[in-house]
Structure 1
Amino acid sequence: MRIQVLGTVRAWLGDEPVELTSAGQRAVLGLLALAGGQPVTRSELIDALWGDDPPASAVNVLQTYVKHLRRRLEPDRPARSRSALLPHVGDGYALRATADTLDLLCFRQLSAQATAARQEGDDRRAATLLDRALRQWQGAPLADVPQLAGHPKVVAVAAERGAALARYGELKIALGEVAEALPALAEAVAAQPLDEAGQARLIRAYAAAGRRADAFEAYHAARRRLADELGVDPGPELRAAHDIALRDEAPPATATRTAVPAQLPADVPDFIGRDGELARLDALLGSPTVVISALSGTAGVGKTALAVRWAHRVRTGFPDGQLYINLRGYDAERPVPAGEALARFLRALGVPGQEVPLDAEERADRYRSLLDGRRMLIVLDNAASVAQVRPLLPGTPGCLTVVTSRDALPGLVARHGARRLDLDLLPHADAIALLRRLIGRRCDEDPDAADELAERCARLPLALRVAAELALARPSVPLRQLVGELADERRRLTLLDAGGDPETGVRAVFSFSYRQLPAPAARAFRLLGLHPGPDVEPYAAAALFGTPVTEAHDLLEALAGAHLLQRGTPGRYGLHDLLRAYASELALLDGDETGTTRLLDAWLHTARAAMTTLHPAERGRHGGEPAGPRPVPIAPVGDPAAAQAWLDAERGNLAAAVAFAAAHDLPGHAVALTVTLLRYLEGGGHVAEAVAMHAHARDAARLTGDVAAEAQLLNNVALIYSQQGRFPQAAEYLRAAIDAARRCGDLAAETRALGNLGHVDAWLGRYDDAAARLREALELCRRTGDRAAEARVLGNLGQIYRRQGRHADAEAHLRRSVALCRDVSDHIGEAYALVSLGHVEAGRGLLADAADHHRAALALFRRSTERGGEALALDGLGSAELALGGAEGFDRLLQSLAIFRRLGERAGEAQAGNSIGEAHAAAGRHGAAREAHAAALAVAREIGDRYEQARAHSGLVAAAEALSDQATAEIHRRAALAIYAEIGAPQPASIFG
Structure 2
Amino acid sequence: MDARAQESFQVSLLGPLRAWRQEAELPLGPPQQRAVLALLLLRRGRAVALGELVDGIWGADPPAAAVSVLRTYVSRLRKLLEPGRPADEAPRLLVSLGDGYALRSDAVLSDLDRFEDLVERAGALRAEGADRAAVDLLRDADALWEGVPLTGLPGPRIEAERGHLEERRLAALETRLRIELDLGEHARVLPELTALCAAHPLREALCELRIIALYRGGRRAEALDVYARTRRLLVEELGIEPGPSLRALHADLLADDAGPAARPASADAGHGSASGAEPDGPPGPGGIVRPSQLPADLVTFAGRRAELDCAAALLPDRGHPQTPLLGLVSGMAGAGKTTLVVHWAHQMAHRFPDGSLYVNLRGHDPSGSRMDPREALERFLVALGVAPQAIPEGLDAQAALYRGVLAGRRLLIVLDNAADTEQVEPLLPAAPGCFVVVTSRSRLSGLVARHGAHPLTLGVLSCGESLELLARRLGAARVDAEPEAARAIVELCARLPLALSIVAARAALHPGFRLADIAAELRKDHGSLDAFAGDDVGTDVRAVFSWSYQALSPQAARLFRRLALHPGPDVTHAAAAALAGVPPRQVRALLTELTGASLLTERAPGRFVLHDLLRAYAAERTEAEDGPPESAAALLRLHSHFLFTAHNAATALDPFREAMPLPPCPPDAAPLRFGDRAQAAAWLRTERYVLREIVGHAAAHGYHTHAWLTAAALNVYFNRLGYWHDLLEIEGTALRSARAAGSAIGQAYALCGLGGAHSQLNHPEQALRHLEDALRLFRSACHPMGQALVHRGLAYLSNRGGRPQDALDHYARAIELYRSEGNVSGEAGVLNQVAWTYILIDEHEKALLRCEEAIAHCQELGDPYGEASTQDTLGYALYHLRRYPQAIERFERSQRLFHEIGDRFLESDVLRHLGAAHRATGDLGAAREALTAALALLEEGGHTEADEVRRELSELSGPNGGNAPSG
Which category of TM-score, normalised to the shorter sequence, fits these structures?
0.3 to 0.5
TM-score, scaled to structure 2: 0.45
User: 1 or 2 for the larger relative contact order (CA 8 Å, sep ≥6)?
Assistant: 1
Q: Which has the larger radius of gyration?
A: 1
TM-score, scaled to structure 1: 0.44
